[in-house]
């Protein structure tokens, strides 16, 4: 009887560890979609990169107050399709996912685009890219890439870099902003000289999260705003003591989940002289919290099943005696 109970406990332990490790492996977005100002009738491309296994992406477009699954086909055309250009749709290169409009029209200005990354078990929602379509005389925007999020210790020197590629070799200028709310509407220019560099040195003097945005302008007139970059500063003492304790695998899994949720909370907004300025940021924290709750529920159910199994074994053994 003791062997049976030991076997059940061992199986349960392995199951819990497996579920915890599986939860830690849920998809993580490493590059959020940016929000360039595209000239009308140009090719507009939005990109999301992620880490994980067996990933797939579904793109959604918010247009005139409604959200459309771009991969679904319905009778006739969805309202936004008439302005999406000659060709449009999703493509991928390994774990890099694209959505493009080849010949985007002015009527899509102000729409919002995001994707949901799935691995068959969990899903994570990207930040929202604001579709900005300007007059045809505007130049093509630069391609930019920034970290989805940054974590640093208090007092640590940390740089955040914006990698930009100029269209047709044009010259680029960089302008850095900060927002206390994570909303583009609340950005304020940084007074430091580094405002005009392709990187900034973050203020890590206080514990908490600060939000940065980089705007890159090409000499031909094209411009693009980066996604909002959350820089989270942790207490140096707390971080060092945590590492010295050599926490268990379950605790390490919880930390990994926290980091994934923090990365998913980064938001995107764009601003244009001919577009409506977004007034709110979008967070996917609720989606990831839901995944964590599902995992905890599965673990609890497994515990209950194991307890019932042990109880039945005990009763059977007592009856035999």
Encoded tokens for 223: 């411009």
pLDDT tens digits along 216-238: 999 989 999 999 999 999 987 65
Helix, strand, or coil (residue 233): strand
User: Which residues, in sequence order, are CB contacts of 81 under 8 Å at separation 6+?
Assistant: 88
Q: What range defines the domain where residue 303 resides?
A: 1-25+294-321
**pTM (2 decimals)?**
0.67
pLDDT tens track of the chain, all 321 residues? 555 555 555 555 545 555 554 555 789 999 999 999 999 999 999 999 999 999 999 999 999 999 999 988 776 789 999 999 999 999 999 999 999 999 999 999 999 999 999 999 999 999 999 999 998 778 899 999 999 999 999 999 999 999 999 888 899 999 999 988 887 668 888 877 556 789 999 989 999 999 999 999 999 899 999 999 999 999 876 544 444 444 444 344 344 434 433 443 333 333 333 333 343 333 444 444 555 566 667 767 867 777 787 777 777 777 766
If you count them, how many residues does the chain have? 321
CA atoms of 93 and 283, how far apart (whole Å): 26
Same domain, 68 and 150: no
Encoded tokens for 235: 């207490």
Same domain, 147 and 226: yes
Same domain, 113 and 186: no
Question: Which residue bears the tokens 């514990």?
Answer: 207
Encoded tokens for 94: 């390994």
CA atoms of 33 and 104, how far apart (whole Å): 17
User: C-alpha distances in angstroms, 152 versus 197, 206, 210?
Assistant: 21, 11, 11
Same domain, 10 and 40: no
Residue 236: give its domain's CATH number: 2.60.40.10
CA atoms of 220 and 212, how far apart (whole Å): 25
Query: What is the phi/psi pair of residue 23, to 5°?
Result: -65, -35
Same domain, 124 and 36: yes
Whether 112 is in a domain gets the answer yes
pLDDT, residue 172, reads 94
Nearest residue to 209 via CA among 230, 235, 239, 181? 230
Last residue of a domain, one of 100, 116, 137: 137
| Structural domain count of the chain | 3
Question: Which residue bears the tokens 């003492």?
Answer: 237
Same domain, 160 and 122: no
Same domain, 187 and 163: yes
CA atoms of 170 and 288, how far apart (whole Å): 40
pLDDT, residue 232, reads 95
Same domain, 155 and 172: yes
Identify whether the C-beta of residue 99 lies closer than 8 Å to the C-beta of residue 46. Answer: yes
Same domain, 167 and 109: no
Whether 194 is in a domain gets the answer yes
User: Which residues, in sequence order, are CB contacts of 60 under 8 Å at separation 6+?
Assistant: 67, 68, 69, 70, 113, 114, 115, 116
The count of other CB atoms within 10 Å of the CB of residue 321 is: 6
Same domain, 206 and 163: yes
Identify whether the C-beta of residue 222 lies closer than 8 Å to the C-beta of residue 36. Answer: yes
Whether 222 is in a domain gets the answer yes
Same domain, 39 and 133: yes
Same domain, 152 and 128: no
Whether 288 is in a domain gets the answer no
Question: Which residue bears the tokens 């060092």?
Answer: 240
């Amino acid at each position: 009887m003791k062997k049976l109970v030991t076997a059940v406990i061992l199986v349960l332990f392995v199951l819990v560890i497996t579920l915890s490790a599986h939860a830690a492996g849920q998809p993580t977005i490493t590059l959020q979609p940016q929000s360039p100002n595209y000239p009308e009738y140009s090719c507009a491309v939005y990109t999301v990169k992620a880490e994980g296994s067996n990933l797939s992406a579904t793109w959604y477009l918010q247009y005139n107050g409604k959200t459309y699954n771009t991969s679904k086909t319905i009778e006739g055309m969805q309202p936004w399709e008439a302005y999406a250009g000659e060709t449009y749709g999703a493509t991928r290169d390994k774990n890099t996912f694209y959505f493009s409009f080849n010949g985007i029209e002015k009527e899509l200005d102000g729409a919002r685009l995001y994707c949901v990354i799935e691995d068959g078990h969990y899903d994570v929602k990207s930040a929202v890219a604001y579709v900005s379509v300007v007059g045809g005389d505007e130049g093509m925007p630069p391609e930019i890439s920034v970290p989805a999020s940054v974590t640093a210790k208090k007092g640590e020197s940390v740089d955040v870099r914006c990698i930009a590629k100029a269209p047709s070799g044009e010259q680029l200028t960089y302008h850095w902003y900060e927002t206390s709310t994570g909303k583009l509407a609340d950005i304020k220019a940084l007074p430091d000289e580094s405002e005009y560099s392709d990187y900034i040195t973050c203020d890590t003097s206080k514990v908490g999260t600060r939000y940065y945005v980089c705007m890159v302008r090409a000499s031909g007139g094209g411009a693009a705003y980066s996604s909002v970059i959350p820089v989270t500063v942790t207490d140096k003492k707390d971080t060092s003591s945590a590492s010295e304790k050599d926490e268990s695998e379950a605790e390490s899994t919880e930390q990994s989940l926290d980091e994934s949720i923090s990365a998913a909370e980064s938001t995107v907004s764009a601003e244009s002289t001919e577009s409506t300025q977004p007034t709110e940021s979008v967070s996917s924290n609720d989606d990831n919290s839901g995944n964590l709750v599902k995992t905890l529920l599965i673990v609890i159910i497994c515990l209950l099943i194991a307890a019932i199994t042990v109880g039945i074994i005990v009763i059977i053994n007592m009856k035999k005696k």
